[in-house]
């Protein structure tokens, strides 16, 4: 099991200069993994990022930022195709940087919510399965796994539950299309965090360990012992990544309601979080 942190905790957007400063910092804190969001496709020089990550012997994943013009099931075909091109760009970036996991809500723009009839939802699920099947083939050729993330109801009306993600992933039926779960979203939507993890089972490729208020894991009311037991039950040995945000994250600040700091400092959030998670999951 590897313990990581998303650079959104400190900066937005991430670029090579910021990564050069953050990589040794997160290593010194005890992380052995770093997660890089792709907000704009021109923010980060991927070859420079790969060299920095190698220098500090860090594992790496990348995170898709689904903006309003990036949406795989949008009725506007231009927006839908732009979403496909963006995910392909992210897959290419992963291949250059050395990341095997690309994670995020790769279906619809964060913050887009809409009412659906059962028939409308079935249509959108069919469309998502079609588009993810195409992307999964491309990802597989590049050695990348897509981790599809359910979000809470305030950030999407489409995939909120592990069950809904499982339906899509099982229909795509490709080794490069799996699931990422995030305890922040699960804490809002799932009846039982442990049951959702166990149900996801071997489909779980990535895990975001986040507190109920996006503060340091272990500082709130997420049922962490239940989470730990469920991860053990499914023999999960993938990345466990803290994702929180500085209020400088303009790309999703409104959709994710990032209005204030969550701890005394961003360093405290990360340091307290990784210390807690290691004690919880390793002992």
**Catalytic residue list:** 149, 243
Closest by Cα among 88, 193, 94 to 144? 94
Dihedral angle sign, alpha carbons of residues 34, 39, 45, 46? positive
**Cα distance between residue 174 and residue 165, in whole Å:** 14
In the chain, the largest separation of any two C-alpha atoms, in whole Å, equals 52
Provide the token pair at 39.
């907000």
Closest by Cα among 202, 29, 33, 172 to 181? 202
For 130, counting Cβ atoms within 10 Å of its Cβ (0-12 exposed, 13-18 middle, 19+ buried), the class is middle
**Cα distance between residue 217 and residue 121, in whole Å:** 34
């Amino acid at each position: 099991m590897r313990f990581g942190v998303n650079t959104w905790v400190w900066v937005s957007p991430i670029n090579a200069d910021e990564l050069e400063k953050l990589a040794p910092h997160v290593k010194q804190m005890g992380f052995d993994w770093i997660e890089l969001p792709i907000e704009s496709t021109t923010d980060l020089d991927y070859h420079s990022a790969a060299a920095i990550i190698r220098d500090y012997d860090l594992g790496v994943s990348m995170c898709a930022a689904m903006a309003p013009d990036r949406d795989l099931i949008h009725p506007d075909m231009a927006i839908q195709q732009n979403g496909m091109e963006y995910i392909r760009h992210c897959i290419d970036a992963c291949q250059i940087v050395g990341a095997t996991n690309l994670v995020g809500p790769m279906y619809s723009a964060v913050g887009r919510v809409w009412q659906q009839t059962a028939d409308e939802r079935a249509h959108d699920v069919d469309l998502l399965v079609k588009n993810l099947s195409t992307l999964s083939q491309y990802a597989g050729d590049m050695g990348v796994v897509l981790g599809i993330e359910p979000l809470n109801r305030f950030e999407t009306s489409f995939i909120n539950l592990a069950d809904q993600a499982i339906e899509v992933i099982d229909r795509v039926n490709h080794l490069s299309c799996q699931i990422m779960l995030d305890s922040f979203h699960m804490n809002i939507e799932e009846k039982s965090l442990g049951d959702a993890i166990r149900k996801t089972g071997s489909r779980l490729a990535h895990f975001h360990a986040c507190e109920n208020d996006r503060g340091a894991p272990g500082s709130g009311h997420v049922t962490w012992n239940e989470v730990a037991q469920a991860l053990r039950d499914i023999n999960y040995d993938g990345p466990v990544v803290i994702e929180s945000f500085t209020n400088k994250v303009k790309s999703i600040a409104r959709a994710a309601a990032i209005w204030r700091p969550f701890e005394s400092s961003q360093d405290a959030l990360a340091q307290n979080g990784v210390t807690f998670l290691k004690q919880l999951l390793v002992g």
